[in-house]
Every structure is written in C-alpha cells, then in structure tokens.
Amino acid sequence: MELVVDANILVSGLIKDGITRELLLSNDLDLYTSDFIFIELFKHIKEIAKKADMAINEFIDMAEILIVESGLKTITIDEIRSFIDTANKISPDIDDALYFSVALKLNCAIWSNDKELKNQNHVKVYSTSDLIKMLK
C-alpha cells in the first residue's frame, strides 16, 4: 500500500519504539513524503529530541536510520508543483497542503493522525489505528 507520511507520524515513530515505528518499518507499506518534512523536523529538532530523551546528534542518527530503513521516499516541490493549487483548496489545514500535493501526484492516501485532514472527500486519510485494522 502506498501512503504519504505526515510529519507527526514520522515524529511519533522517532520518539517511541511502538506500533507507529513498526508500521514505518513494515514491508507492507510504500512510504512517501514531501521533502518539506525535513524542514519541519529540523525546525523543531530540540523539542523532538527532548521528547525522545536523546541528545540532538543521537536523535539525528536515529532519524537517518529510521528514514533509510523505512524506505521513505521524498518527493520534491518541483515534482508536485502542478498539484499545489488543488491541494491548497482541498486541504483542511494549509500547513498540510504539501502532503495532499504528494498524495494527488501519486494517487494514494495520506497516513496522519490529524482527524481534521479527513474533513474533505478528495484524498483518503488513514490514521495509525485504521492501518492496524487494515493490515491484520
């Protein structure tokens, strides 16, 4: 199953060794995201590393390992540029429009625990609990 991963899912997988991390590393999922996610991660790196109870350099090493092992593929702004206007119109939260752009480009769903993102009918949005039920 192809999915676009939002920043909160990636952060959740980095902070805690739990079901989200397990799903990120699952061979059943082909994961994509906007390259913007890395700007978001590093913008909040001190806060996230603290929540993960890690030093910043330790957190960066963990992030690199998780991203590589998950096979997370990044889509550049240039690749989704033609979808941005539509995504801005349909995304319930303008901050998440780039994830919608990637989903529109790839014709796939978004993995997010942000319930607000389900308040549209153009792109399917799955929560972690939705994925657990589907993959059983």
Tokens (6 digits) for 129:
């609990």
Residue with tokens 């998440």: 96
Query: What pLDDT score was predicted for residue 41?
Result: 87
The pairing of beta strand 30-34 with beta strand 2-5: parallel
Residue-range definition of the domain harbouring residue 115: 2-135
Domain tally, the chain: 1
Strand pairing partners for 78? none
Q: Where are the alpha helices (DSSP H) in 52-127?
A: 56-70, 77-80, 84-90, 97-106
Q: Any idea what the CATH number is for the domain that residue 122 is in?
A: 3.40.50.1010
* DSSP structural state of residue 6: P
Low-confidence ranges of the chain (pLDDT < 50): none
Helix (H), strand (E) at residue 124: none
